[in-house]
């Protein structure tokens, strides 16, 4: 038998690699002669860097960059096993968890540090970037990111604007003569499940601004600033980013990545599936085992188990999913390629339980299921 193990992390509890190893231990006790391939997965959000590094035998790098308020932070990014692909989570440099709640203010937060991570990856010789853009503290349309890579965003006195979403309304012209030339030959894939446009009632400022600390007045100011930025980009760069689905992701970083890096926005799990070459690995498999911490009605919307199942079903391979918790609407996954769904234990495993206990519970549940089937 050939069995592919491709779970997401159990967030806050076990990494995707930990979960995969636990499942493997259970499978081995039932099918000791099986060929077992572990492929840790993610959906483009938290844990994507570690997942892709683990899945490709890559390595984690660290870089001191500017955080969202301009302070120095030590941010991690990954270089995949091919040595040519970088994986970056913008939240490492520009994320909301880097700011205490009382200090959150999208008028002044910047994506400059995310641009510094991109530059660091270019300095390592990377020719492809996978960028996850969830969990941002910013609303600057990716302006800071572009500045870190050499773009000049100039005011009416031909001076560089400052950091933050409020500054965008001061831009009079964009000068790309000094932008890093390596960008032109770099493929950039953005992992994001957000479909919001840049501006308007469904845009970055109105939908996501309040959770980043914006008041109603700030939301209106930020939306107007992004509108102005979009007009300048259309005039100076010839790119209309205002209505592109997903342009509003991460406070408009999606738009900035499209405008300045010619990025392609894709559903997160699809980007990860491609990066880890999942389809190639499972073509001749007999069983695929996936999972995530909680399976419920949201699992069918771009989450790992259903993403993995869709690929497996192209080859008519049965799919087993395991979860720590099963919530309302979990039965919907049976309409999306998952054949069996099992829960680890009753009562549910706790976040405070030791790691060894969690791994043991997963191993035993998988073992029991396979024996009884």
- Domain extents for the chain? 2-41+279-372, 48-269
Predicted confidence pLDDT, tens digits, the chain (373 residues): 999 999 999 987 899 999 999 999 999 999 999 999 999 999 988 889 999 999 999 999 999 999 999 999 999 999 999 999 999 999 999 999 999 999 999 999 999 999 999 999 999 999 999 999 989 999 999 999 999 999 999 999 999 999 999 999 999 999 999 999 999 999 999 998 889 999 999 999 999 999 999 999 999 999 999 999 999 999 999 999 988 999 999 999 999 999 999 999 999 999 999 999 999 999 999 999 999 999 999 999 889 999 999 999 999 999 999 999 999 999 999 999 999 999 997 777 777 788 999 999 999 999 999 999 8
Tokens of 284: 């001749």
The whole-angstrom separation of Cα 224 and Cα 131 is 27
Q: pLDDT value at position 44?
A: 87
Q: For residue 215, give Cα distances in angstroms to 175, 211, 212, 302, 324.
A: 32, 9, 9, 31, 37
DSSP 287: E
Class of domain 48-269: alpha beta
What's the residue count for the chain?
373
Q: What is the pLDDT of residues 127-149, one digit of tens each?
A: 999 999 989 999 999 999 999 99
- The pTM (predicted TM-score) of the whole model is 0.89
- Within 8 A by CB and 6+ apart from 268, the residues are 42, 43, 44, 45, 48, 132, 134, 191, 192, 193, 302
DSSP 166: G
- Within 8 A by CB and 6+ apart from 125, the residues are 83, 84
Q: pLDDT value at position 13?
A: 86
Does the 2-41+279-372 domain belong in CATH 3.40.50.2000? no
Q: pLDDT value at position 237?
A: 97
Q: pLDDT value at position 62?
A: 98
């Amino acid at each position: 038998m050939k069995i592919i193990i491709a779970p997401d992390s159990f967030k806050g509890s076990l990494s995707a690699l930990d979960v995969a190893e636990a499942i493997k231990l259970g499978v081995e006790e039932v099918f000791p002669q099986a060929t077992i391939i572990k492929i840790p997965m993610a959906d483009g959000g938290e844990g994507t860097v570690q997942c892709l590094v683990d899945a490709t035998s890559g390595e984690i790098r660290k870089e001191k960059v500017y955080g969202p308020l301009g302070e120095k932070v030590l941010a991690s990014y990954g270089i995949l096993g091919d040595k040519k692909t970088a994986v970056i989570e913008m939240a490492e440099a520009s994320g909301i968890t880097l700011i205490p709640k009382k200090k959150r203010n999208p008028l002044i937060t910047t994506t400059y540090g995310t641009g510094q991570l991109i530059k660091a990856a270019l300095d390592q010789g990377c020719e492809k970037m996978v960028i996850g853009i969830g969990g941002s503290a910013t609303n600057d349309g990716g302006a800071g990111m572009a500045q870190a890579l050499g773009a000049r965003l100039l005011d009416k006195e031909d001076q560089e604007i400052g950091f933050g979403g409020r500054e965008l309304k001061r831009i009079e012209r964009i000068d790309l003569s000094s932008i890093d030339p390596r960008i032109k030959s770099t493929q950039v894939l953005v992992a994001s499940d957000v479909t919001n446009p840049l501006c308007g009632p469904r845009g970055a400022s109105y939908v996501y601004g309040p959770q980043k600390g914006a008041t109603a007045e700030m939301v209106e100011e930020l939306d107007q600033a992004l509108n102005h930025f979009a007009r300048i980009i259309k005039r100076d760069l010839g790119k209309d980013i205002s209505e592109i689905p997903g342009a509003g992701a991460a406070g408009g970083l999606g738009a900035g990545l499209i405008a300045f890096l010619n990025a392609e926005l894709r559903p997160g799990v699809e980007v990860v599936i491609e990066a880890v070459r999942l389809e190639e690995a499972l073509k001749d498999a007999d069983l695929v085992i996936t999972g995530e911490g909680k399976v419920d009605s949201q699992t069918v919307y771009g989450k790992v188990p259903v993403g993995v199942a869709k690929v497996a079903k192209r080859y008519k391979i049965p799919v087993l999913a395991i979860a720590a918790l099963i919530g309302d609407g979990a039965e919907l996954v049976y309409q999306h390629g998952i054949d069996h769904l099992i829960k680890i234990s009753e009562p549910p495993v706790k976040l405070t339980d030791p790691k060894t206990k969690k791994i043991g519970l997963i191993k035993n549940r998988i073992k029991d299921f396979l024996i009884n089937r």
